[in-house]
Amino acid sequence: MKRKRLAFIIPSLKAGGAERVVTTLTNQFINDFDIVIVVLYKCTPFYNLNTNIKVVFCKDVYNSTPSFIQSITNHLQLINTCRKLIAKEKSDIIIGFTTIANIYSVLVGKQLKKPSIISERIHPQFGSISSFWVKVRKLVYPKTDALVIQTKDIKNYFTKIIKAEKVHIINNPLAEELAEQRNLNATKNNHIICVGRLEPQKNQELLIRAFANIERSNYKLLLIGDGNKKEAYKSLVQELNLKESIDFIGNVKDISKYYNTAKIFVLPSNYEGFPNALIEAMYYGLPCIATNCPSGPSEIINDGENGFLIPVNDQLHLEKKLSLLIHNTDLQIQFKEKAIESTTIFEAEFIANKWKELIYKVL
């Protein structure tokens, strides 16, 4: 059978959840399909891509403050460029990741008479897109062949505007290299880690303030990631006299080093789509505390069995659970074993096979 050709559309291949998922899936798919990733804005890919995966860019620079006319013109140019690139590649199907790229994917698919699969990466009620794009999404999404989401909560949202049979729950995959680099017998440091962009959505401020209020027992907090709240968080750390106890690590390629050697993981988010970092940490056997935010954590953690769920933005609850985990090594061991058990369903090959089934079905 002739190899099918897949075209992915994504705004960027920098560090981030959607970018990691696209990288993991395309690395899994390359033995079965020819693949091109159409990236809206030029960047250096953060994660390791198989050399047989073709990457093409639509534009060199992103204009963050365009006028309304410039914005519309820019979107039309990007859609046109995506169409030309995908037509040149003779792709059989178009797969979008994140809202704007999804809209482009459906529109380009209709222009080229190609099927499309689109994938939302965050709970749509809490996304940062404007009301204009919410309206466009409602008009365009029903015309796709399939929508992939990660949780029941997100499915319930979208089945109000899209036929239920088009909406498919497929969880995010664990990156293959993370599975290879996992060392469950590594020496542990007294480290609590939080992995995610330093932005209001991830709410690291809650964790910083909770950490300031507990008996820390020589534990250090490592904030792994970058973002526009970095300087504000650094000022807060200074104000709370925690400079010696909290480190800002920035974006790292070898995240396994931190998963292998930390003792506790915290996800303090206000909202998520499906938190990659949480399943990664649990796969590495880290005892985890996560907010019961929309959406994802409650479908991964059974509270008190393989981790703790706390109410969103509840500092007192976080302080209690952090203190409990720091001072109870038996509980750490219990959570470790149960967390590893519950995350085998996220291994890359298993998730990639679910995607392949859907791709062949749509084709």
DSSP string, 30-57: TTTSEEEEEEEE----SSPPPTTSEEEE
Q: pLDDT value at position 341? A: 95
Residue 253: predicted pLDDT: 87
pLDDT tens per residue, the chain (363 residues)? 789 999 999 999 998 889 999 999 999 999 999 999 999 999 999 999 999 999 999 998 887 778 888 888 999 999 999 999 999 999 999 999 999 999 999 999 999 999 999 999 888 888 778 889 999 999 999 999 999 999 888 999 999 999 999 999 999 999 888 989 999 999 999 999 999 999 999 999 999 999 999 999 899 999 999 999 999 999 999 999 999 999 999 999 899 999 999 999 999 999 998 899 999 999 999 999 999 998 889 989 999 999 999 999 999 999 999 999 999 999 999 999 999 999 999 999 999 999 999 999 999
**C-alpha torsion angle, residues 113, 77, 73, 66 (rounded to 10):** 130
- pTM (2 d.p.): 0.86
Rg (CA), the chain: 21
For residue 78, what pLDDT is reported?
A: 96
CA 224 to CA 251: how far, in whole Å?
6
Domains annotated on the chain, with CATH:
5-173+347-362 (3.40.50.2000), 179-345 (3.40.50.2000)
pLDDT, residue 298, reads 93
By the 10 Å C-beta count (0-12 exposed, 13-18 middle, 19+ buried), 235 is classed as exposed
Q: What is the pLDDT of residue 62?
A: 80
Q: What are phi and psi of 276, to 5 degrees?
A: -55, -45
96 beta partners? 9, 118
DSSP secondary structure string, 63-93? -SS--HHHHHHHHHHHHHHHHHHHHHHT-SE
